[in-house]
Amino acid sequence: MTKMLPIVLVLFVATGAFAAPSVSVSQVPINEIAPAYDSGRGVTPGLLLNLWDLCDGGDTNVHILTLEQVVNDYSRLPNSYAQAQAVATILAVLGELATGVPGDACNAANAINAYASGRGGNSYLGQLAANIDLIAQLANNPEKLRYAVGQRGNCAGGGRSYQFEAAWDAILNRANPYTIGLVNEEYCTAKRLYQALNVRSNNVGAAATAAALPPVVTAVQRALGPVLAFLRAAANGNVGAAAVAAAKQALLS
């Protein structure tokens, strides 16, 4: 069945220095837009765009959209750590957006608190591996996740309270000078999601923070080959069991 979801372009035009902006909205059927180009070399904005499109745009508020743009900007950098940060973040965020009903952020919060307390933080790799299963379902049969509930853990406040500033202080202190501007932008966006009043935004903010932890990014950097092969298959809407297994094994090894 052909999708006819609209692409909405919003243009703001101010008629004076203090005038309220007017809004013009135009709709274009999505099947009239050419598919994003993926060169097959590393992480590309085209690959990421096709992956973001797997999710229902109704749950992507302005701050999640800003986070998506930061991830896309990481992918443009010829730097393997930045590429790994893009991959880690999209695995984390797509996992949070995959289910119709959000779960909690306990696994992310526990990993963040562990890292901020000097106890590692790579426990979040298990969540990224679980997200690979969700992303495969999202690509192959998204209707199965429409009424599904996200993963639930057992932690105070559902993982909505954790050592946010301490974790990001450490992330920013260890950031590559080549990527520091984007890391700072990601911090600002994650903070808005952390402070939001709805669960979906809180979960995405926690996921993005956990995905930016240096032990997590380093592990993803080492697993980039199999994980990228999986993501390309997901972007094409047809993921086989072998690609899922290889990506999960690479992450967890």
Q: Within 13 Å of residue 183, how many CA atoms lie on the same side as its CB?
A: 24
**88 neighbors 220 (Cβ within 8 angstroms):** yes
- Domain of residue 76, residue span: 38-252
The pLDDT of residue 41: 55
Render each residue's pLDDT in the chain as its tens digit; 253 residues: 434 444 333 433 444 444 444 434 343 333 333 333 344 458 898 999 999 999 877 778 999 999 999 999 999 998 899 999 999 999 999 999 999 999 999 999 999 999 999 988 899 999 999 999 999 999 999 888 989 999 998 898 899 999 999 999 999 999 988 889 999 999 999 999 999 999 999 999 999 999 999 999 999 999 999 999 999 999 999 899 999 999 999 999 8
CA dist 104 and 160 (Å) reads 8
How buried is residue 128: exposed, middle or buried, by Cβ count under 10 Å (0-12/13-18/19+)? buried
Give domain status of residue 32, yes or no: no
Structural domains in the chain (count): 1
CA distance 220 to 4: 35
Is residue 250 within 8 Å of residue 227, measured between CB atoms? yes
Is 13 among the domain residues?
Answer: no
Q: What is the pLDDT of residue 183?
A: 96
What does pTM read for this prediction? 0.83
pLDDT at 156: 84
The torsion angles phi and psi of 10, rounded to 5 degrees, stand at -115, 125
CA atoms within 13 A on the CB side of 9: 6
CA pair distance 149, 136, nearest whole angstrom: 16
For residue 158, tell me if it sits in a domain: yes
Burial profile 130-139: b = 16 or more Cβ within 10 angstroms, e = fewer:
ebbebbbbbb
Q: Are 104 and 152 in contact (CB under 8 A)?
A: yes
Between the alpha carbon of residue 238 and those of residues 71, 139, 223, the distances in Å are 23, 6, 21
Give a yes or no: residue 29 inside a domain.
Answer: no
Residue 30 lies in a domain: no
Nearest to 63 by CA among 190, 179, 167, 150: 190
Is the residue at 137 inside a domain?
yes
**Domain membership flag for residue 27:** no
d(CA 248, CA 243): 9
Residue 18 falls within a domain, yes or no? no
Q: How many residues would you count in the chain?
A: 253
Binning the chain into helix, strand and coil, the percentages to the nearest 5 are 60, 5, 30
